[in-house]
Amino acid sequence: MNLFVTGAAGFIGSNYVRQVLATTDDSITVFDALTYAGNRESLRDLDPNPRFTFVQGDITKRDQVNAAMAGHDAVVHFAAESHVDRSIASPDEFVHTNCDGTNVVCDVARTLEVERFVHISTDEVYGSIEKGSFVETDRLEPRSPYSASKAGSDLIALAYHETYGLPVIVTRSSNNFGPYQFPEKVIPLFTTNLLNEKKVPLYGDGLNIRDWCFVEDNCAGVDLVLRNGQIGEIYNIGAGNEITNHDLTNSVLAILGHDDSMIEYVEDRLGHDRRYSIDTSKVRKLGWAPQREFAEALGSTVEWYRDNREWWEPLLQSGK
């Protein structure tokens, strides 16, 4: 297949592209605006590959999307603004990119008659759950501008399937971690802070719970859904590694040889969801299962940041 992958200079997208090029004969065009979290250096090692093409462009610009998408068989749509704190400070750009941009990408894909369209989303669209786990048919109750804009983009993509027959499939993933993640997210933020002998800021009481999935496992799930998922369906992807933020912090501290004196408790985030949990039975029926054990994958992730200062230090120095 010839894949058109939006937003793949970002964290999950760059890992997805690297994985697909390594495991298939597919060709890939990456389409990315290179906003603050899109880093061309995350893909630089792929430039010599004749099956890889990079196009800088904005998903909200129809002419740019149309010119770049033409001739591709399938779309994998990662491009999105994705940080809750930034969405609270600047909601307009989240709604514009995530909703308007998704509308443009879907409409261009419709006119070009692509064969498959995977829309990448998040478990945050479901909101918080005290007990049990969300299934794909549960009501959406987003509680931040970020998650609300992603919920809106999910509905836009699914509406294109219902209205126009666009062959859409949606994935909703739990929190990802791994190499090439912009150092504003908790694991790379805490890791890079500690590598620079700085304290780590922990929100509230630290007892908010997230399910952590290693990025390579998530990418394998996304690719399986692209090839074998049922059109018009939604698939949750999560590894079942539910852990409090406090325990996660202690794990990172231990890996880097620090104790809890390096924790700085800070005022809680506005509207901070208490617990995320998703049921992944549906994607597991396709044959997917996480391959990496959490503690091992966390250790390898921390080591990647230790070994790749040349990737993340310029991002900190740029003040982005």
Whether residue 188 contacts residue 305, with contact meaning beta carbons closer than 8 Å, is answered with yes
The candidate with the shortest Cα–Cα distance to 79, out of 14, 144, 32, is 32
Q: What is the Cα–Cα distance from 48 to 162, expressed in whole angstroms?
A: 40
Given the residues 58, 124, 216, 273, select the one marked as catalytic.
124
Q: What is the Cα–Cα distance from 220 to 237, expressed in whole angstroms?
A: 10
Given the residues 16, 146, 235, 276, select the one marked as catalytic.
146
Asked about 180 being catalytic, the answer comes back as: no
Exposed, middle or buried by CB within 10 Å (0-12, 13-18, 19+), for 31?
buried
Asked about 146 being catalytic, the answer comes back as: yes
Q: What is the Cα–Cα distance from 290 to 239, expressed in whole angstroms?
A: 6
The candidate with the shortest Cα–Cα distance to 150, out of 7, 311, 301, is 7
Torsion angle of alpha carbons 99, 235, 240, 5, nearest 10°? -60
Exposed, middle or buried by CB within 10 Å (0-12, 13-18, 19+), for 267?
exposed
Q: Which residues contact 17 (CB under 8 A, 6 or more apart)?
A: 5, 8, 28, 30, 43, 46, 52
Given the residues 32, 123, 154, 223, select the one marked as catalytic.
123
Quick count: other Cβ atoms within 10 Å of Cβ 127?
A: 21
Cα 84 to chain centroid, rounded:
13
Asked about 260 being catalytic, the answer comes back as: no
The candidate with the shortest Cα–Cα distance to 260, out of 242, 273, 241, 247, is 247
Active site residues: 123-124, 146
